[in-house]
Amino acid sequence: MIHCIIVDDEPIARDLLTSYLSRIPDFELVKSCRNADEAYEALQFHTIDIAFLDIQMPVVSGIEFLRSLRHPPEVIFTTAHPQFAVEGFDLNSVDYLLKPITFERFHQAVEKARERFLHAAPGQQSNKKPNYIFIKQDYKFVKLPFAEICYIQAERDYCKAFLNDGRSILISMHLKALEELLPEDEFFRIHRSYVIHMDKVLSIQGNTITLGDIEIPIGANYKENFLKKMHL
């Protein structure tokens, strides 16, 4: 899986690229960013392989942002300004896409990026993903290791992570959005309101699983895939 961010101050442009990325296998959108500050945050807390980067943005331009990074990801520039093309390619970008961007042209750039990854020398890029996530609480980000999570429950516009030690943490994020940030080999959604850490499952009986002293229902629409995931 190739992990990506989109960095563009225009909502329509971000929505278009998000739609295009959803049609590309093996490319996962980690975050859609409105500016360089949000992109810095994404790079700090996630492993990012490719940035789809606008150039003309307020405060910090795409080129200024890229030059500021000590270990930048691969970059595909997305801009309405052809005059920056030479500078963009001087920064070793994968491609330079001019708006309005068609899906055909976008797909060509993505395949060029894929070729770079396929032909990269061993050790040139790291596929190691962090074993934790940072969640926002009050006015700070708090590190939450995946191994400490027992299960997660939806709470309207939020969700709540229940930890091994009995504590619970309220997370200001929809369950679906949080689920996409969790490693697929460790977590699984068993109900519209629950995502569980598979290593914590003690027993499965009928439409119920036991995690420690807690029993959680298995949704009818999730049961078949869950049992396959558990090799049952």
Which of 98, 96, 42 is CA-nearest to residue 73?
A: 42
Which of 145, 195, 149 is CA-nearest to residue 175?
A: 195
What values do phi and psi take at 97, rounded to 5? -100, 130
Average pLDDT over residues 64-76: 87
pLDDT greater than 90 at residue 37: no
Predicted confidence (pLDDT) per residue in 104-152, tens digit: 999 999 999 988 877 664 444 444 456 777 776 666 667 788 899 999 9
Average pLDDT over residues 202-207: 92
Give the pLDDT of residue 132: 77
**Winning range, highest mean pLDDT, from 55-64, 127-136, 188-197:** 188-197
CATH 2.40.50.1020 applies to domain 142-229: yes
For the whole model, what pTM was predicted? 0.53
Give the pLDDT of residue 50: 94
Average pLDDT over residues 85-94: 81
Average pLDDT over residues 182-189: 89
Give the pLDDT of residue 191: 94
Nearest-5° Cα angle at 16, 11 to 18: 95
Q: Which residue has the higher pLDDT, 39 or 183?
A: 39
Kindly indicate the confidence band of residue 74, based on its pLDDT and cuts at 50, 70 and 90: very high
Distance CA 189, CA 179 (A): 8
Average pLDDT score over the chain? 87
Give the pLDDT of residue 125: 45
Distance CA 232, CA 229 (A): 8
Distance CA 97, CA 114 (A): 16
CB of 200 closer than 8 Å to CB of 212: yes
Give the pLDDT of residue 8: 96
Would you kindly state where each structural domain of the chain is located, as residue ranges? 2-118, 142-229
Q: Which residue has the higher pLDDT, 158 or 134?
A: 158
Q: Which tokens hold the place of 31?
A: 């975050």
Considering the four listed CATH numbers 3.40.228.10, 3.40.50.2300, 2.60.40.3500, 3.30.70.360, the one that applies to the domain covering 2-118 is: 3.40.50.2300
CB of 76 closer than 8 Å to CB of 117: no
Give the pLDDT of residue 139: 61
